[in-house]
Amino acid sequence: MQVSTTRSATLWDAFITIGFLMVMLALSVALFGEDSSSGANQIALLFSTAIALLIGFKNQYTWSELNSAIAQGVANVFGSVLIIMTVGALIGVLIISGTVPAMIYYGLQIVEPELFYFSACILCAVAALSIGSSWSVAGTIGVGLMGIAAGLGLSPEITAGAIISGAYFGDKMSPLSDTTNLAPAVTGTDLFVHIKHMVWTTAPAISIALVLYLIIGMSNDNLVSIDLSEKLTIIAKTFDINGYLFLPLVVIFIMAIKKVPAFIALIAGIASAIVLALIFQQEVLTQFVTDVSQASILNNVKGIWLALFSGYVSATGDSEIDQLLSRGGINSMLNTVSLILCAITFGSILDKLGILERLIANVITKAKSVGSLVFITAVSCFSINVAAGDQYIAIVLAGRMYKLEYQKRQLRARNLSRVLEDAGTVTSVLIPWNTCGAFLAGALGVSTFAYAPYCFFNILCPVITVVYGMYNFSITPIINDELAIAK
Q: 181 or 176: which carries more pLDDT confidence?
A: 181
Measure the CA–CA gap between 360 and 351, rounded to whole angstroms.
12
Residue 225 has pLDDT above 80, yes or no: no
Residue 24 has pLDDT above 90, yes or no: no
- Residue 470 — pLDDT band, cuts 50, 70, 90? very high
Measure the CA–CA gap between 104 and 47, rounded to whole angstroms.
43
DSSP secondary structure letters along 395-415: HHHHHHHHHHHHHHTTB-HHH
- DSSP letter at 140 equals I
pLDDT over 90, % of the chain: 35
pLDDT computed for residue 295 by the predictor: 55
- Residue 226 — pLDDT band, cuts 50, 70, 90? low
- The tens digit of pLDDT for each residue in 53-102 reads 999 999 999 999 999 999 988 887 787 788 878 888 988 898 999 988 88
pLDDT computed for residue 469 by the predictor: 93
Residue 308 has pLDDT above 90, yes or no: yes
| pLDDT (average), residues 18-29 | 83
pLDDT computed for residue 427 by the predictor: 94
| pLDDT (average), residues 43-53 | 91
Within 423-487, residue ranges assigned H as helices are: 435-444, 448-451, 456-470, 481-486
Q: 213 or 317: which carries more pLDDT confidence?
A: 213
Within 59-98, residue ranges assigned H as helices are: 63-96
pLDDT computed for residue 1 by the predictor: 43
Range scoring the smallest mean pLDDT among 2-16, 92-106, 250-264: 2-16
- The tens digit of pLDDT for each residue in 370-427 reads 889 999 999 989 988 887 777 887 887 788 778 888 988 899 999 999 999 999 999 9
Residue 356 has pLDDT above 90, yes or no: no
For residue 93, CA distances in Å to 79, 96, 281 come to 21, 5, 11
| Residue spans per domain, the chain | 78-332
358 within 8 A of 9, measured Cβ to Cβ: yes
Q: In whole angstroms, what separates CA 99 from the centre of its chain? A: 22
Measure the CA–CA gap between 411 and 416, rounded to whole angstroms.
8
Residue 134 has pLDDT above 70, yes or no: yes
pLDDT computed for residue 35 by the predictor: 66
